[in-house]
Amino acid sequence: MWFLARILPALLLVAATATAPSGAVAGAAAGPRAAEEALARYASARLLEERGRDQEALAEYERVLALAPNTPGVERRISELSARLGETQRSLEFARRALVHDSTDVRALWLEGSALFNLDRAPEALAALEAAVAADSGQVDYWRTLAHVGEQLERVDEVARAWRHAVALDEEDGESWFQLAAAEARLGRFGAAGLALIEAMAINPLRPGILFLYGWVEESQGNSKRAVELYRHHLQVHAAAR
């Protein structure tokens, strides 16, 4: 279990310093029983998460942090759970607390960027997310979040770059292909937009707006007849959906 491997050293530090002179390790819980309880509560919190009981898991993580303060892995878990529960400001607080210990913590950078985005602080979010994808370019969620931030900032070049990486990591995500096609079209790269649309339509041909976008791409490439057919089909589908 990777999560236990990452948290265990910090929690074991509590036990290792339990017999040290008072104040030797700031914030460390006193006594081996506290260390055992912290480990047990951490395992309990993970189990609650697996069962979808996020609010209860969050409470357990808070108890772990009370027993073993300044534990980045626990602070990161609290940030992530807070984000899932819609507690954006709290998510930002704990992501930043984790980053105090390690400014290169990629997951914490992503959590910070996501929270800033949801707090309408897109310029700050962009910096955090750029750092996250630079450190770990293999996480599709990081690229998707970066694309949304770029959209809010009207950085279409950034949007297209992010969706290109997203589809490279997850070729079966039709929505990412559609968003890439839209960004490429807005940049005037209609050939690239058409190729992305082929992928998007193969996965989800009924995606709302896909026929209209395809019509625009065809029209922009001089294929007026094909564009009219696509626009007509779009209107028919739109009318039928009402």
- The residue-averaged pLDDT of 128-157 equals 97
> How many angstroms separate the CA atoms of 145 and 110, rounded?
8
Using H for helix, E for strand and C for coil, what is the string for 47-115?
A: HHHHCCCHHHHHHHHHHHHHHCCCCHHHHHHHHHHHHHCCCHHHHHHHHHHHHHHCCCCHHHHHHHHHH
For residues 177-191, b (16+ Cβ closer than 10 Å) or e, as one string?
Answer: bbbbbbbbbeeebbe
Amino acid 234: pLDDT: 86
- The residue-averaged pLDDT of 12-39 equals 50
CB 170 within 8 A of CB 138: no
Amino acid 20: pLDDT: 30
Residue 32: pLDDT band by 50, 70, 90 thresholds? Answer: confident
> How many angstroms separate the CA atoms of 218 and 150, rounded?
26
223: DSSP letter: -
Query: What predicted TM-score, i.e. pTM, was given to this entire model?
Result: 0.82
- The residue-averaged pLDDT of 154-183 equals 98
Residue 11: pLDDT band by 50, 70, 90 thresholds? Answer: very low
Contacts of 111 (CB under 8 A, 6+ apart): 76, 79, 80, 83, 91, 92, 94, 95, 98
Q: How far is CA 202 from CA 9, 169, 198, 206, 224, in A?
A: 47, 17, 6, 10, 23
- The residue-averaged pLDDT of 141-157 equals 97
Of 25-34, 100-109, 221-230, the least confident: 25-34
- The residue-averaged pLDDT of 160-170 equals 98
Whether 237 has a pLDDT exceeding 50, the answer reads yes
Domains of the chain by range and CATH? 1-70 (no CATH), 171-242 (1.25.40.10)
